[in-house]
Each structure stands twice: as C-alpha cells, then as structure tokens.
Amino acid sequence: MKRSEKIAEAQVILKALGLPKSQQNHISALTLLALCGLSVNDAWSLAERDRRSVTKGIMDFIREKYRISYAPNTRETVRRQVLHQLVLAGVANYNPFEQGLATNSPRAHYAISEAALDAIKTFGTPAWGSSVGKFLSDRTALIEVFERRRSKRLIPVRFADGKSVKLSPGSHNKLQKAVVEQFAPRFAGESNLLYLGDTAKKDLYINAQVLETSGFPITEHDKLPDVIMACTPISRQL
C-alpha cells in the first residue's frame, strides 16, 4: 500500500468518527496512525492502545514510519489543534495510564480510546458500520464520564472576595493555590490578586485594567509570573 492511501484511509476513519473537516487533514490522519501504532502496510485490525507522548511517541513515529518530518515548533500545533480535538471527540484519552499528572509533566501522554480502538479495528470489514454506530451512540456518555473524572482532579482556588477558579492538576498549581489562599491573607492582607496563570490556561484569571495601568505586558502572558498581586487596594490604583 502507498503512504498516501494509508493516510486517506485514516481520514475516512476520522470523518466517520465525527471529527470536523479541520481535523480530517494529513497531520490529524498521521496522528491517528501513530496513536494506533500502525505502519503503512499494517492492517487496521492490528491497531493497539499504548501511551504516546507528543514528540517521541507521535512525531517521531510519523518521521520513522511515514518519512514525514515536522518542525519542532509543530509540537504545540499537534497538541492543541489535533490531539485536543481527538480527546474532545472521545477518540483519544489524555494521561489514561497515569491520571493526575501535571499539564507540563514530562510523563504526559495520549492514547487511542478503548471505544475508538474497538471501532477502528473493524475498518474495512462488514462490522465497520455497526462499530461506528456504537461508538457514536456511546460517545456522549463516555465523554461525560471523562469530564467528571477530570473535574474531580482539578484544584479549586478561592479568592478573598469569594470568587473561585479551578487549576489543572499538578504540584506547581498546588503551590499557586497556597500563595492565594494562605500566604496572601497572612502576609499581604491588603493585597489584590491581579493575575493567576495556569499550566493549561495562561490567562485563567486576569484583572486587565489594573495590569495595564501598572505597565505589565498583558498581551504576552507567557512572560508574566504565575501570580501577580498588588499590595495596595485596587481603588487606590484606579
């Protein structure tokens, strides 16, 4: 089989499993093949579920098995525009073999979901249509279960004014929770929280007006500290 034919089959599968057209492109198809551990001449029935990191498990697999190389900065594109969508669609799982890992953990990984794998292994057989139908009918329930499990692992942070947000799991974000809930009330009683970043969402909480007045580059969140607090009341700064 030609490489282009295998990629085309993966695109057909992505479409059947309900992925939007923007996630039916070549890089999404190759990512699906990497998640299944399939080379060009492997039958879809040989698809396997294994943990795969973005770079070593997926991008390196694509380079070695399909002779297609992506630039290192493509890693974030694969993670945000391909894998994230596959997870939302119930086709892949995030950290299924080691739940509770921090977002920026070097052990972070993805795997094809068990439900999607069951369907994918029947591609090209008479059972394909019914397998896809079962996957699509069960997908909503599976995603809801996944979201409930994920919500239980989130770290709640309560602000002095009673508002609250939830940080992604990880020891780093536990430290940020302690800064906001314990350090600030004890050692900076009159301080006001202006910015709280998250390893998964850099601008989780931001008081843009005060930050702009204070001269912080609010359009470049990656360069901001994890927590910014003002030691004088906001009313004095406005």
Could you read off the pLDDT of 75-90 as tens digits, one per residue?
888 988 899 889 988 9
For the chain, what is the radius of gyration of the CA atoms?
A: 22
- Per-residue pLDDT band for 33 (boundaries 50, 70, 90) equals very high
Do 197 and 120 share a structural domain?
Answer: no
The residue-averaged pLDDT of 178-204 equals: 75
**Statement to judge: residues 54 and 163 lie in one domain:** no
pLDDT at 238: 43
* pLDDT band, residue 236 (cuts 50/70/90): very low
Task: Judge whether residue 234 has pLDDT over 50.
Answer: no
Which of 91, 124, 153 is the last residue before a domain boundary? Answer: 153
Total domains in the fold of the chain: 2
63 and 40 co-located in one domain: yes
Domain boundary among 103, 125, 153: 153
Q: Flag whether pLDDT at 138 surpasses 70.
A: yes
The CATH number covering residue 16 comes to 1.10.10.1820
Short-list 121, 118, 45, 57, CA closest to 83: 57
Is 167 found in the same domain as 133?
A: no
Mean pLDDT of the chain: 83
Of 21, 156, 31, 138, which Cα lies nearest the Cα of 84? Answer: 31
Distance CA 24, CA 10 (A): 8
**174 contacts 180 by C-beta, under 8 angstroms:** no
Alpha-carbon distance of 140 to 128, in angstroms, equals 20
Its domain, for residue 37, covers 3-153
Selection from 108, 28, 37 nearest residue 70 by Cα = 28
CA distance 1 to 123: 16
191 in the same domain as 117:
no
Q: How confident is the model at residue 105 (pLDDT cuts 50, 70, 90)?
A: confident
Q: How confident is the model at residue 93 (pLDDT cuts 50, 70, 90)?
A: very high
Examine the domain organization and report whether 161 and 199 are in the same domain: yes
For residue 116, pLDDT beyond 50: yes
Distances 174 to 3, 44, 77, 154 between C-alpha atoms, Å:
46, 42, 28, 10
pLDDT at 81: 86
**111 & 206 share domain:** no
Give the lowest-confidence range in 135-139, 195-199, 209-213, 232-236: 232-236
Looking at the fold, whether 172 and 141 belong to one and the same domain comes out as: no
Provide, rounded to the nearest whole percent, the portion of the chain with pLDDT above 70.
Answer: 82
pLDDT of residue 5: 96
pLDDT tens, residue by residue, 9-29: 999 999 999 888 888 999 999
pTM for the complete prediction? 0.62
In angstroms, rounded to a whole number, what is the distance separating the alpha carbons of residues 182 and 167?
16
* Residue 147 sits in the same domain as residue 218: no
Residue 198 sits in a domain whose CATH number is: 3.40.1350.80
**Amino acid identity, residue 113?**
S
Tell me, yes or no, whether 141 and 26 share the same domain: yes
If pLDDT is split at 50, 70 and 90, which confidence band does 142 have? very low
Predicted confidence at residue 235, as pLDDT, reads 47
| In a shared domain, residues 22 and 97 | yes
Residue range 92-119: average pLDDT?
89
Q: Three-class SS of residue 112?
A: strand
Q: In whole angstroms, how far apart are CA 235 and each of 178, 192, 210? A: 25, 10, 10
Two tokens at 106?
Answer: 């070097």
Residue 13 backbone phi and psi in degrees, to 5: -65, -45
Whether the pLDDT of residue 149 is over 60: the answer is: no
- Last-in-domain residue among 100, 119, 153: 153
Are 80 and 173 within one domain?
A: no
